[in-house]
Amino acid sequence: MPISAIANLEDLVPIRGVSYAPVPSDSASRPPEKYFDTDFTNETFSLLWGSINNGRGDIKNLSDIGVNFLRLHHWSVPPAPGYEPEEKQRNHLPFLRECSKRDIKVLVPISNQFLRQIHRGKGEEVKAAILAIVTEVYNRQTSTPAGAGMWAIGNEFDQGSPVFDVGDVVMAIEYLDEAETVLGILAENRLPVTAPISFDRYAPRAPGVVALQNLKRAINANAALKPAAANFWDSRFVASVNPFDDGRHLKAYINKAFPKYFPDLPFFFHETGAPIQAGSAVATPIDQASFVKGQLEATTHRANFLGRCIFQFLNQTAMKSWSETTFGMTQYSGTPITMGKISSNYEPGGGELYPVDALTEKPLFNMVRDFYLAEAFLADEDTLTPAQTAEGTEDRAGLL
């Protein structure tokens, strides 16, 4: 189906995205209680992403380099509307407002944590959590929410995990659809839905195809997801894949492999990038920038391909190990700009401080900035008058 067949999808195209997790440097793989999960895109940690009160201003900075889409990792259960967060709850509305102000759309995750709970038989608890998340994202309104752009159900359910599977993904989608119905969200105001898959399983010539075929069968077999007007797969679903191959392979996948199996299905790359590894083709930060530039050049929007998200904003040296610590566009400088404080009435972590780390830009950051700004300029040029286009010729030459 054309992109226009899915409500609110055209607003996201072309995707110039970044995977965003602004983890403080004093976090760890087994977080202390003040960081009980990886959700930092909320009011509690506003100094990381916001600009007021001497915040680091990540969202403004990302908008300034042409980013228009953020892929997040986790979204904690929010409080009931009008109430302060209780234990292990987060308020994300200020973050969504900041993203909307900066013309950035957010991929709101229903993370693997919830899929694991469904798999363990705690579906009713997850159903209530998803209703709370949907209530927050639509901000008690029935119109399309400002700031939010798409729902993401889990990540890489196809990896053969024993703790969740495709059935749990479909159950979460059912809970999401039901929550929107309970809240009275009209079909034309609902956000697109994706369920990201890996790039390294099943058919080597067309990674992800079998997983998507299995997901399609499971969605179409779910009676609750078949409204009279349209099938859920055709009216709301967008495919997303996590490839880390070079640009040549990505270009072939976009142009030939994926459309061979799904000629009408919109899709994007949910994660793409490269780690730095000694002895590999990407052995230095300069190598990394060059490799990812090839990926970006191969993944421009065309036909049903929407764009991509660079993995990722920040080297995750606080929480990860080995090559996973090197993907970032930025890294900790070693010095905090200031310290933030978790509200004293919050549980857990009330009254504790967190570092707002100064960040150092890697060569990858500068390359992504130059590429995304040029791409944004060309996208905007499509809406200009001939006179405006002529005036911008000199600027375009400088960007390219």
- List pLDDT tens digits, range 160-209: 888 999 999 999 999 999 999 999 999 999 999 999 999 875 555 678 99
> Among the listed ranges 25-29, 57-61, 175-179, 335-339, which one has the minimum average pLDDT value?
25-29
Distances (CA, A) of 277 to 52, 198, 285: 38, 21, 10
CATH number (domain holding residue 169): 3.20.20.80
Mean pLDDT of 99-128: 97
Q: Are strands 197-198 and 239-242 parallel, antiparallel or unpaired?
A: parallel
Model's pTM, two decimal places?
A: 0.92
Give the number of other CB atoms < 10 A from CB of residue 246: 16
- List pLDDT tens digits, range 32-69: 777 888 899 999 999 999 999 999 999 999 999 999 99
**What's the domain range around 25?**
3-399
* Residue, of 206 and 108, whose pLDDT is higher: 108
Cα R_g (the chain), whole angstroms: 21
Give 324's pLDDT tier (boundaries 50, 70, 90).
Answer: confident
Q: How many domains would you assign to the chain?
A: 1
Q: Is the dihedral of CA 58, 103, 343, 26 positive or negative?
A: negative
Q: What is the DSSP string of 107-153?
A: EEEE-HHHHHHHHTT-HHHHHHHHHHHHHHHTTT-SSPPSSEEEEEE
* Residue 118: Cβ-neighbour burial (10 angstroms; 0-12, 13-18, 19+): buried
Task: Provide the token pair at 325.
Answer: 């610590």
